Amino acid sequence: MRQLFDSDTWREIFQSIGKNRLRTFLTMLGVFIGIYIYIALSGAAKGLDNGFEKEFETVARNSMFIWAQTTSKPYAGFKTGRRIQLKLQDAEELRRQVPEIETLAPRNVSGVFGSSPGVITRGIKSGNYSVFGDFPEFTKIATKKIYDGGRFINDEDIKQERKVCVIGERTQKELFDVEENPIGGYLEIEDVSFQVVGVHKFSGGGPFDNDSDIFIPFTTYKKIYNTGDNVAWFTIAAYDDADVIKVEQDIKANLRRIHKVDPEDEKAIGSFNLGEQFKKIFGFSNGLTFLSLIVGIATILAGVIGIGNILLISVKERTKELGVRRALGATPTEVRNQILIEALFLTLLAGIIGIIMGALTLKGIDVFTQDVDLPYTNPTVPIPYVIGSLLLMVILGVLIGLIPAQRAVSIKPIDALREE
């Protein structure tokens, strides 16, 4: 310990590593490359991770969409090819039967899936837009950024079947003047007058999203389009810890039961499991993080072993010098510590340079990809990982340094002096 904090020790070490620059450089190269690869790779993985996260930040991770189609098998007296219609009551049943469901939002739409779009007029302006009938729960699954002063559909809207709507940015642009405040303004959907209560910001990424849509309360939709209790599809979010694939299967099984569909009929109920897709995507970046960890640790290990090797050679080369030092009164501990500190110092120095270069590279990639449309944001390596890798290097550096250090003192001073 005394030796570690003694400026003379360091002077000695700088002298001995400085006298053979090439050897020092080669010694450090391995560890440098190891830590550099680790930082650059895991930072890039993190960047991808962040990028995907940002891309899909508006949609609940473990969400899915369930809709009904036609049967492909006869069952319980029904012929094949029967059209199944989801009902509002199904929602109640599903909530009861599948406890993993956190949020369930029945939705209706006109304007997508082949149905004719809603005709919206405002004074002399008019256009075709997708009109959605929605519950407030929908925003829990796919968050809608509502511009200041506005709001999404709420429970009162549903209860009172209010004629209110939330419009998209493009709808606003097309139906309202630039300086006009759309909130409180009126427009006509299928000749019924609706008041605008909010404008939502367009955020790409979520499926079925576009910026020319209009949201109205589910109950109001039902009346205007005369859809009764029909539901076009369910948007469902499961709890974070739930297994999305199992939840999806449970839901579909329940719907088959409710609608008297053959349990084996895979065609009758359609679904798109966003959670599963997310799992794949994040699985990829997790895999990359893991890979970089493995590659990084392996290369650091190889680098440290390289340091040990070169120090071993260096100790052999310096046998005579170390013999002289011992003749002059260096104790074995002092000699051993000198070699150890040398190993540690070289490892750490190489590691820190590697970390700095790795961070600079990440920064460079970040700047470079700023204007490129890639799911790649803010590539950073968590500080604990950096500290962890430094710690790993310290431990490995000391352990590997022990070998040449022990070697340096295992030889008797007289034999060391005789060495030519």
Our CB check for other proteins shows the closer of 14 and 239 to be 14
Q: Is 407 in the site for other proteins (CB under 8 A)?
A: no
Our CB check for other proteins shows the closer of 7 and 226 to be 7
Least distance CB 337 / other proteins (angstroms): 12
Q: How many CB atoms lie within 10 A of CB 18?
A: 9
Our CB check for other proteins shows the closer of 205 and 332 to be 332
CA torsion through residues 237, 270, 105, 151, sign = positive
From residue 158, alpha-carbon distances to 26, 91, 155, 221, 302 in Å are 73, 16, 5, 10, 65
The residue whose two tokens read 């199944």 is 84
Cα angle 373-377-383, degrees, rounded to a multiple of 5: 165
How many Cα neighbours within 13 Å face the side chain of 30?
Answer: 22
Q: Is 159 in the site for other proteins (CB under 8 A)?
A: no
- Give the contacts of 187 (CB within 8 A, at least 6 positions apart): 120, 121, 122, 165, 167, 175, 193, 194, 196
Least distance CB 12 / other proteins (angstroms): 8
Q: Is 419 in the site for other proteins (CB under 8 A)?
A: no
Which of 1, 8, 79, 373 is close enough to bind other proteins by CB under 8 A?
A: 8
Distance CA 95, CA 410 (A): 75
Residues 285-344 that bind other proteins (CB under 8 A): 320-321, 324-334
Q: Name the one range near other proteins by CB under 8 A: 79-87, 199-207, 242-250, 408-416.
A: 408-416
- Give the contacts of 224 (CB within 8 A, at least 6 positions apart): 189, 190, 192, 216
Six-digit token string for 216: 């109205």
Which secondary structure element, helix H or strand E, spans residue 233, and what is its range? strand 233-238
Q: Is 3 in the site for other proteins (CB under 8 A)?
A: no
Our CB check for other proteins shows the closer of 21 and 83 to be 21
Our CB check for other proteins shows the closer of 48 and 408 to be 408
Q: Is 97 in the site for other proteins (CB under 8 A)?
A: no
SS3 state at 101: strand
Least distance CB 328 / other proteins (angstroms): 4
Least distance CB 297 / other proteins (angstroms): 35
Which secondary structure element, helix H or strand E, spans residue 183, and what is its range? none
Our CB check for other proteins shows the closer of 200 and 326 to be 326
Q: Is 417 in the site for other proteins (CB under 8 A)?
A: yes
Our CB check for other proteins shows the closer of 232 and 310 to be 310
Q: Name the one range near other proteins by CB under 8 A: 44-52, 207-215, 388-396, 406-414.
A: 406-414
Our CB check for other proteins shows the closer of 120 and 408 to be 408
Distance CA 160, CA 230 (A): 19
Residues 16-45 that bind other proteins (CB under 8 A): 16, 19
Query: Rg of the Cα trace of the chain?
Result: 34
Least distance CB 327 / other proteins (angstroms): 5
Least distance CB 25 / other proteins (angstroms): 17
Distance CA 246, CA 113 (A): 27
Question: Buried (b) or exposed (e) across 349-386, using 16+ Cβ within 10 A?
Answer: bbbeebbebbbebbeebbeebeeeeebbbebbbeeebb
Q: Considering CB under 8 A, how many residues would be counted as binding other proteins?
A: 24
Q: Is 96 in the site for other proteins (CB under 8 A)?
A: no
Six-digit token string for 24: 């020092």
Pair 189, 225: CB distance under 8 Å: no
Our CB check for other proteins shows the closer of 12 and 161 to be 12
Our CB check for other proteins shows the closer of 117 and 332 to be 332
Pair 26, 311: CB distance under 8 Å: no
Q: Name the one range near other proteins by CB under 8 A: 26-34, 191-199, 358-366, 405-413.
A: 405-413
Least distance CB 28 / other proteins (angstroms): 19
DSSP string over 260-274 = T--TT-SSSEEEEEH
Q: Is 15 in the site for other proteins (CB under 8 A)?
A: yes
Could you list the residues that contact other proteins (CB under 8 A)? 7-8, 12, 15-16, 19, 320-321, 324-334, 409, 412-414, 417
